[in-house]
Structure 1
Amino acid sequence: MTWRTQLGDRILKGVEAKLYLTSMQYAIENLEDTRDLEEPEVLTGDRLFDIADFEQKIVLLHRCLAALLSPEIESPMLSNVIEAAAYFPFAFLRMRLEDEIYIEKDSIQMTV
């Protein structure tokens, strides 16, 4: 898995690659489940990516994954939208972790 960054090519391997791919899989499932919502549930901080429709996001995510999965495929030119697509699975993880922390804090407060 190779990704061109400002610091050079980035290669994901082993556990790091598995984490990224698993996160992407769950993030895409969530994206599909929430595609009819007016507001996106997962925000990357990039307005253009965040307001893109489902199909546009899938194309961008596919471009990122193709480059990350196959060194033969040239990495896309870096842009804010491509960077947001690459960040999307981490934004999803962050959202889910924040939800879990909030639920846990809420349940602890209710038992006190």
Structure 2
Amino acid sequence: MKINVIGFESSEGVSKKTGQPYAIGKLYAALPLAGGKGVKGYMGSEYRCEPSVLKKIDHNQPPFMAEVEFQDVMRYGERQQEIVSIVPTEAKAPPSATGTAVRA
């Protein structure tokens, strides 16, 4: 699936509370709204992924377009989508996907 990456973050370390290691990664994307008449623009989505996946794109400055591969995982009894692969396809996102709508 091709998405517009608008941000990402990762955190790795050892919990002070439990002493257990942790690794958390998140990717933020702007996905086009789907629908009929009168539907325009993008909506924000957040996806979990391993920090090792994000390290492969760490040198890129968002926003940019990328091809991603998802897998379904069970987390706390809930099925969620997790990104397992991400490959940038363009240096910059389309102009319509960047910026904000601010009225003067």
Q: Is the shorter-chain TM-score for this pair beyond 0.5, marking a shared fold? A: no
Q: What's the TM-score bracket when you normalise by the shorter of the two chains?
A: under 0.3
Bigger proportion of residues as strand: 2
Q: Provide the TM-score with structure 1 as the length reference.
A: 0.22
Bigger proportion of residues as helix: 1
Higher relative CO (Cα under 8 Å, sequence separation at least 6) belongs to 1
